[in-house]
C-alpha cells in the first residue's frame, strides 16, 4: 500500500484515453497521447491523471465490458509508432482524414479500419516478427496471452459471436487451450494477437513511465466484474457462477434495478488456488499505475445476483446473505397456507382482465389465453397462482399470450414478500413492503417478520465485513498502488469501516453526499468528508456538473450550502469557478475532477448542448456512449491561459489543509 501517495493533498483529472486529441493520434486517443496530456497537466499543477479501463473490449465500446482481464485494447495502439509501419503513412493519413474531425469517436468504423491496417502490416512483416527475440521473451513472461490469442482467433472464426454460440470449443480445459495454441495451422493467426499485445504493452508502459518521471500519478480503473463473453470466463469457468448475473437493486434512478449481464464470482473456487487470478490482475495493473480505482467495491462485500431466469433486477438477491428457512417461518406461526400466501404471487381475476383487455386492448380470448396458459385457479376463489411452467420471467416471455398479459405477469412476479430460491429456503423481494401480502399482515405478524429479517441482516453484515476484509486485502497487501474504491450504491454499515482499516480511499460525489435520512436531505459539508477519500463533481455515468446544474439540481439549496450568493440559472464559467473552488477545499486527500468539468472553467469549451458532453448514459446501448472526445487538441487547450490559471487556482486551494471555506466569488 502506497501510504506516501495518500498522505498528499492533490488535485487530479479523469479522462478517457479515447477522448484525447494528441499530435499524432488517428481518430481516437492513443497511449502515447497520455504523455502529451501529462505535460498539460504539469502546466496546470495537476498531480494525478485517472483513466477509464483500457482492456480489449472488442467491438463493444464500453470499457467496462472487456473480453480480457489482461489484454489491452488495439484501438489505443499508435500504428505510426510501430517499427513495421514505416511504409504506411499514406494509409494512416487516409484514416485520419476520414475520422479525425469527428466530434465523437466513430468507434466501430475506426476500429475496423485500424484492425485492417494492422493486419496488412503484420502480413507484410510476418517473417521479421516471427524472428523477433524481444517478442519471444515477452511471450514467455506473459503466459495469459496464449489463451487470449486462441480466444480471439476462435471468436473471429465464429463471426465475433459470444463463445456460448460457437460451433465448437465452448467448453475447454487448460490442456485443450495448449493444444489449440500449438496447432501449426493457426500459428500465424495466434502470433498476430500476441504481436498486437506486445506493442500495446510497450507503448502503454513507456507512457506510464514518462508520466511517473514527471511526478504525476497515473491512476487506472479495475472493474470488479468480467464480461460473460470474455476469455477469462471461457478459459476459467470454475472461477464464475454463470447461472447468475450481477447487477444492482432498484433505487430512485432505476425502479427495475440494473442487470449488467456479468457473471458473479465463485469465491470458494478462487480460494482453492489462493486467488491466483486476482493476484495476477493486480500485478498486471501495477506495471502501469501508481493508483487504481476498484469499480463497484460493494461487490467484494456482497453482490446483487440475478438468476438467468430473469431479466429485471427486481428479482435479485444479495450473495452472500443469511437465508430465511421454512422452519423459522413455522416458528413465527405461519402455516403452509400462510407461507404459500407470502411467498407466491396471488393474482386476482379482475386484475388480469383490467391489464389485458381494458389497458392492453386485448380481446376476451386474449384474456382467457392468459388464464389457460399461465395461471392455476385456487379452488373456487377469484384468485390465481402462476403455473409451474410460468414460474420465471423467461418462462412468461416464451408463452404465446398477449404482450399486455406478459407485461402484467412479469410485474406480478415481485408482488410478494418472499421468494423460495432453494428447497424450503427463502429470500425477501426487494420491494416486499409494497406487496399485497405485506399489506395483509397483522401488526403482530409484521413485527415478527421484521425482527427476523433484522437478525438475518445483522448476521449477513458480519459475513460481508469478514469476507470483504479478506478479499480486498488480496488487492492491497503487497501492492505499491494506492487503492481507491467506487463505493456508490446501496451501502452497508461495514463498508466505511473496512475501507478505513485497509486505507482504501472512498468516493465522494458532491451531489450525492447528503444526509438522506434527515429532513430536507441536507448536503454533507466538505469539511466532514473523510480524509481518506476522493472528492469529485461528477462521474462517467452521471450528467456533467453543468448539465446537472441546468436540469437536475436544487439550485438555491446547493448555492446556499456552498455559502454562495444566488447563482445564474444557466451554468457558466463563474458558476463553475464558484462551485469548484468549494469542492477543491474538501477535506479529502484527493479531489479528481472530470476533464469536462474543468474545461467549463472558461467559456471557450462549452458545447451548445450540455447533453452532448456526457460520456455514458446508463441503461442505454448506442453509438453515443463512451465515444466523447475533447472539443479541441491537447495543444489548443493548453493555449487557454485562463483555463490553465483557473485549474492552478483549484490546486492551490486543495494543497492548503486544513479545510477552509474559501468564501463567495464574483460570477
Contact 344, 418 (CB under 8 A): no
Question: What pLDDT is stored for residue 358 in this prediction?
Answer: 92
Contact 256, 313 (CB under 8 A): yes
Q: Is the pLDDT of residue 82 over 90?
A: yes
Contact 445, 437 (CB under 8 A): no
Contact 105, 18 (CB under 8 A): yes
Verify cis geometry, omega within 30 degrees of 0, for the bond prior to 658.
Answer: yes
Contact 9, 654 (CB under 8 A): yes
Contact 250, 226 (CB under 8 A): no
H, E, C per residue of 456-493: HHHHHHHHHHHHHHHHHHHHHCCCCCEEEECCCCCCCC
Q: Is the pLDDT of residue 647 over 80?
A: yes
Render 551-607 in DSSP notation, one character per residue: HT--HHHHHHHTT-PPPPSS--HHHHHHHHHHHHTSSSSEEEEEHHHHHTTSGGG--
The model's confidence at residue 660, banded by pLDDT at 50, 70 and 90, is low
Give the chain's length: 667
- Side by side, the strands of the sheet bearing 375-377 are 347-348, 383-386, 375-377
Looking up cell 399470450 gives 401
Question: What pLDDT is stored for residue 492 in this prediction?
Answer: 86
255 or 660, which is more confident? 255
Once rounded to an integer, what is the mean pLDDT over residues 337-350?
97
The runs of H, that is alpha helices, within 131-224 are 133-141, 144-157, 174-181, 187-213
Exposure class string for 322-345: b at 16+ Cβ within 10 A, else e: bbbebeebeebebeeebbebbbbb
Q: Where does 12-235 sit in CATH, by number?
A: 3.20.20.80
Lowest mean pLDDT among 25-34, 394-403, 619-628: 619-628
Contact 304, 248 (CB under 8 A): yes
Q: In degrees rounded to 5, what are phi and psi of residue 384?
A: -135, 150
> In this structure, are strands 347-348 and 590-594 parallel, antiparallel, or unpaired?
unpaired
Once rounded to an integer, what is the mean pLDDT over residues 84-97?
94
Render 333-359 in DSSP notation, one character per residue: T--HHHHHHHHS--EEHHHHHIIIIII
The model's confidence at residue 251, banded by pLDDT at 50, 70 and 90, is confident
Q: Is the pLDDT of residue 658 over 60?
A: no
pLDDT digits (tens, 9 = 90+) for 189-211: 999 999 999 999 999 999 999 99
Determine the Cα–Cα distance for residues 130 and 135; give it in Å rounded to an integer.
8
Question: What pLDDT is stored for residue 209 in this prediction?
Answer: 98
Question: What pLDDT is stored for residue 333 in this prediction?
Answer: 95
Question: What pLDDT is stored for residue 656 in this prediction?
Answer: 76
Query: How many Å from the N-terminal Cα to the C-terminal Cα in the chain?
Result: 42
Q: Is the pLDDT of residue 471 over 70?
A: yes
Once rounded to an integer, what is the mean pLDDT over residues 378-398?
96
Determine the Cα–Cα distance for residues 295 and 221; give it in Å rounded to an integer.
7
Exposure class string for 362-392: b at 16+ Cβ within 10 A, else e: beeebbebbbeebbeeeeeeeebbbeeebeb
Once rounded to an integer, what is the mean pLDDT over residues 87-92?
93
DSSP β-bridge partners for residue 348: 383
Contacts of 362 (CB under 8 A, 6+ apart): 356, 402, 404, 405
pLDDT digits (tens, 9 = 90+) for 353-368: 999 999 999 999 999 9
What percentage of the chain has pLDDT greater than the value 70? Answer: 97
Lowest mean pLDDT among 222-226, 368-372, 381-385: 222-226
pLDDT digits (tens, 9 = 90+) for 278-324: 999 999 999 999 999 999 999 999 999 999 999 999 999 999 999 99
Question: What pLDDT is stored for residue 662 in this prediction?
Answer: 45
pLDDT digits (tens, 9 = 90+) for 95-148: 999 999 999 999 999 999 999 999 999 999 999 999 999 999 999 999 999 999
> What cell numbers appear for 333 in the block?
406461526
The model's confidence at residue 174, banded by pLDDT at 50, 70 and 90, is very high
Determine the Cα–Cα distance for residues 579 and 584; give it in Å rounded to an integer.
9
Q: Give whole-number Cα distances, 159 to 87, 162, 551, in Å.
A: 30, 9, 43
> What cell numbers appear for 447 in the block?
413485527
Q: Is the pLDDT of residue 234 over 70?
A: yes
What is the residue extent of each domain of the chain? 12-235, 317-456, 505-654
What mean pLDDT is reported for the chain?
A: 94
Question: What pLDDT is stored for residue 664 in this prediction?
Answer: 39
Once rounded to an integer, what is the mean pLDDT over residues 574-584?
95
Q: The dihedral of CA 194, 233, 248, 385: what is its sign?
A: positive
Question: What pLDDT is stored for residue 379 in this prediction?
Answer: 95
pLDDT digits (tens, 9 = 90+) for 444-453: 999 999 999 9
The DSSP letter of residue 618 is T
> In this structure, are strands 533-536 and 506-509 parallel, antiparallel, or unpaired?
parallel
Amino acid at each position: 500500500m502506497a501510504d506516501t501517495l495518500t498522505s498528499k493533498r492533490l488535485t487530479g483529472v479523469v479522462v478517457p484515453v479515447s477522448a484525447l486529441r494528441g499530435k499524432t493520434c488517428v481518430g481516437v486517443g492513443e497511449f502515447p497521447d497520455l504523455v502529451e496530456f501529462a505535460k498539460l497537466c504539469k502546466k496546470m499543477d495537476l498531480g494525478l491523471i485517472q483513466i477509464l479501463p483500457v482492456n480489449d473490449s472488442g467491438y463493444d465500446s464500453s470499457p467496462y465490458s472487456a473480453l480480457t482481464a489482461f489484454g489491452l485494447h488495439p484501438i489505443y495502439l499508435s500504428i505510426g509508432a510501430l517499427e513495421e509501419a514505416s511504409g504506411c503513412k499514406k494509409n494512416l493519413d487516409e484514416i485520419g482524414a476520414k475520422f479525425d474531425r469527428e466530434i465523437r469517436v466513430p468507434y466501430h468504423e475506426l476500429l475496423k479500419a485500424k484492425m485492417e491496417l494492422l493486419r496488412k502490416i503484420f502480413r507484410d512483416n510476418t517473417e521479421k516478427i516471427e524472428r523477433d527475440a524481444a517478442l519471444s521473451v515477452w511471450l514467455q513472461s506473459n503466459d495469459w496471452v496464449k489463451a487470449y490469442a486462441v480466444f480471439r482467433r476462435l471468436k473471429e472464426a465464429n463471426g465475433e459471436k459470444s463463445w456460448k454460440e460457437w460451433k465448437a470449443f465452448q467448453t475447454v480445459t487448460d490442456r485443450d487451450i495448449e493444444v489449440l495454441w500449438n496447432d501449426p495451422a493457426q500459428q500465424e493467426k495466434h502470433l498476430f494477437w500476441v504481436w498486437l499485445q506486445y506493442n500495446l504493452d510497450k507503448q502503454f508502459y513507456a507512457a506510464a513511465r514518462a508520466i511517473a518521471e514527471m511526478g504525476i500519478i497515473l491512476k487506472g480503473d479495475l472493474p470488479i466484474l468480467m464480461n460473460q463473453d470474455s476469455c477469462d470466463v471461457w478459459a476459467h469457468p470454475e472461477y464464475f457462477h454463470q447461472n447468475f448475473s450481477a447487477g444492482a437493486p432498484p433505487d430512485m434512478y432505476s425502479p427495475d434495478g440494473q442487470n449488467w449481464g456479468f457473471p458473479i464470482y465463485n469465491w470458494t473456487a478462487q480460494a482453492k488456488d489462493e486467488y491466483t487470478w486476482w493476484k495476477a490482475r493486480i500485478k498486471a495493473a501495477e506495471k502501469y499505475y501508481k493508483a487504481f480505482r476498484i469499480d463497484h467495491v460493494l461487490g467484494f462485500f456482497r453482490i446483487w445476483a440475478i438468476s438467468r431466469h430473469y431479466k429485471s433486477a427486481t428479482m435479485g438477491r444479495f450473495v452472500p446473505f443469511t437465508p430465511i428457512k421454512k422452519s423459522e417461518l413455522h416458528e413465527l406461526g405461519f402455516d403452509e397456507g400462510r407461507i404459500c400466501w407470502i411467498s407466491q404471487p396471488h393474482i386476482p381475476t379482475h386484475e388480469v382482465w383490467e391489464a389485458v383487455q381494458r389497458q392492453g386492448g386485448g380481446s376476451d380470448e386474449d384474456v382467457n389465453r392468459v388464464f389457460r396458459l399461465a395461471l392455476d385457479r385456487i379452488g373456487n376463489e377469484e384468485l390465481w397462482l402462476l403455473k409451474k411452467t410460468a414460474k420465471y420471467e423467461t418462462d412468461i416471455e416464451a408463452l404465446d399470450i398477449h404482450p399486455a398479459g406478459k407485461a402484467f405477469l412479469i410485474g406480478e412476479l415481485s408482488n410478494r414478500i418472499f421468494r423460495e430460491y432453494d428447497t424450503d429456503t427463502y429470500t425477501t423481494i426487494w420491494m416486499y413492503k409494497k406487496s399485497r401480502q405485506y399489506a395483509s399482515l397483522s401488526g403482530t405478524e409484521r413485527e415478527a417478520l421484521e425482527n427476523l429479517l433484522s437478525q438475518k441482516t445483522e448476521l449477513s453484515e458480519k459475513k460481508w465485513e469478514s469476507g470483504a476484509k479478506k478479499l480486498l486485502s488480496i488487492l492491497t497487501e503487497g501492492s505499491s498502488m494506492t487503492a481507491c474504491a467506487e463505493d456508490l450504491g446501496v451501502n452497508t454499515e461495514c463498508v466505511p469501516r473496512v475501507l478505513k482499516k485497509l486505507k482504501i480511499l472512498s468516493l465522494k460525489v458532491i451531489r450525492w453526499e447528503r444526509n438522506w435520512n434527515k429532513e430536507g436531505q441536507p448536503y454533507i459539508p466538505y469539511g466532514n468528508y473523510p480524509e481518506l477519500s476522493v472528492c469529485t463533481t461528477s462521474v462517467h455515468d452521471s450528467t456533467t456538473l453543468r448539465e446537472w446544474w441546468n436540469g437536475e439540481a436544487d439550485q438555491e439549496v446547493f448555492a446556499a450550502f456552498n455559502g454562495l450568493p444566488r447563482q445564474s440559472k444557466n451554468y457558466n464559467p463563474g458558476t463553475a469557478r464558484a462551485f469548484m473552488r468549494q469542492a477543491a477545499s474538501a477535506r479529502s486527500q484527493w479531489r479528481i475532477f472530470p476533464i469536462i468539468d474543468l474545461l467549463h472553467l472558461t467559456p471557450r469549451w462549452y458545447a451548445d448542448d450540455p447533453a452532448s458532453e456526457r460520456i455514458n448514459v446508463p441503461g442505454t446501448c448506442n453509438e453515443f456512449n463512451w465515444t466523447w472526445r475533447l472539443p479541441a487538441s491537447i495543444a489548443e487547450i493548453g493555449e487557454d491561459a485562463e483555463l490553465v490559471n483557473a485549474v492552478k487556482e483549484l490546486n492551490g486551494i486543495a494543497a492548503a489543509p486544513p479545510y477552509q471555506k474559501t468564501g463567495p466569488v464574483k460570477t
